[in-house]
């Protein structure tokens, strides 16, 4: 489904964040991207979301080289993805309901369908009762769950998450990861960047270890599932 073919990403001034990287993620797979800070995890996700373009090589999605997509087609590509950020990127002035509704408004759904889907997504993350709350009135864990609801509300085929548990305590982190597991169970392909190795042992999935922008062998094979 997603294939990186000899991909290199070079930033001006800081050198190569990803170097000649090749791997494949199949449909319905759950893949954890691990590695130390600066290993290239975020860059890899940015290449999938077309926040960045590869300097060399091909990023293929369903056989199509998305690295070469014209600018006008980027919005359509992004609408196929669900994205979860470490800092959740919620709009502070809007309620949980309105934040989750955003991708559906962009997609042009009817008000009734938007309301139905947003409530279903909020229910899935256990925040239906807080649909009118603004992010400032929610805890960090709740905010992250709203972010996840927003990422899955369009029923994306691929969900990418960049350090989604980075700001959370271990218990909340596990809850979030279990939530991802549930979405993966219904066929959503997942790529999750994390440095929290302890969590991986409690979840299924495949691990891709990065070091200095290249694939590297996981230090502990037991963590590969």
DSSP letter for each residue of the chain: -EEEEEEEEEETTTEEEEEEEEEEE-TT-EEEEE-STTSSHHHHHHHHTTSS--SEEEEEETTEEGGG--GGGHHHHHHTEEEE-TTTT--TTS-HHHHHHHHHHHHT--HHHHHHHHHHHHHHTT-GGGTT--GGGS-HHHHHHHHHHHHHTT--SEEEEESTTTTS-HHHHHHHHHHHHHHHHTT-EEEEE---HHHHTTS-SEEEEEETTEEE--S-GGG--
Least distance CB 97 / other proteins (angstroms): 15
Least distance CB 52 / other proteins (angstroms): 9
User: Nearer to other proteins by C-beta: 102 or 211?
Assistant: 102
Note whether 149 and 124 are within 8 A (CB). Answer: yes
User: Nearer to other proteins by C-beta: 75 or 170?
Assistant: 75
Least distance CB 106 / other proteins (angstroms): 5
DSSP letter for each residue of 85-130: -TTTT--TTS-HHHHHHHHHHHHT--HHHHHHHHHHHHHHTT-GGG
User: Nearer to other proteins by C-beta: 79 or 178?
Assistant: 79
User: Nearer to other proteins by C-beta: 42 or 184?
Assistant: 42
User: Nearer to other proteins by C-beta: 155 or 178?
Assistant: 155
List interacting residues with other proteins (CB under 8 A): 49, 51, 75-81, 83, 89, 91, 102-103, 105-108, 150
Least distance CB 135 / other proteins (angstroms): 12
Least distance CB 107 / other proteins (angstroms): 8
User: Nearer to other proteins by C-beta: 68 or 79?
Assistant: 79
Least distance CB 93 / other proteins (angstroms): 8
């Amino acid at each position: 489904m997603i294939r990186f073919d000899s991909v290199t990403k070079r930033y001006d001034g800081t050198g190569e964040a990803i170097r000649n990287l090749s791997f494949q993620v199949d449909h319905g797979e759950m893949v954890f991207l691990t590695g130390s800070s600066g290993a290239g995890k975020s860059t890899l996700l940015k290449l999938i979301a077309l926040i960045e373009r590869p300097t060399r090589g091909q990023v293929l999605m369903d056989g199509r080289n998305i690295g070469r997509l014209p600018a006008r087609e980027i919005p359509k590509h992004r609408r196929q993805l669900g994205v979860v950020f470490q800092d959740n990127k919620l709009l502070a002035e809007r309620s949980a309901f309105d934040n989750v509704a955003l991708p559906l408004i962009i997609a042009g759904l009817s008000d009734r369908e938007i309301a139905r889907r947003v409530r279903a997504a909020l229910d899935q993350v256990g925040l239906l009762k807080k649909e009118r709350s603004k992010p400032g009135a929610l805890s960090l864990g709740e905010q992250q769950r709203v972010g996840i609801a927003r990422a899955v509300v369009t029923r994306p085929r691929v969900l990418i998450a960049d350090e989604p548990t980075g700001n959370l305590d271990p218990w909340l982190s596990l809850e979030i990861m279990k939530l991802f597991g549930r979405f993966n169970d219904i066929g959503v392909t997942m790529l999750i960047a994390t440095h929290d190795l302890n969590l991986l042992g409690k979840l299924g999935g495949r691990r891709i270890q990065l070091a200095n922008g290249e694939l590297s062998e996981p230090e502990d094979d037991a963590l590969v599932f």
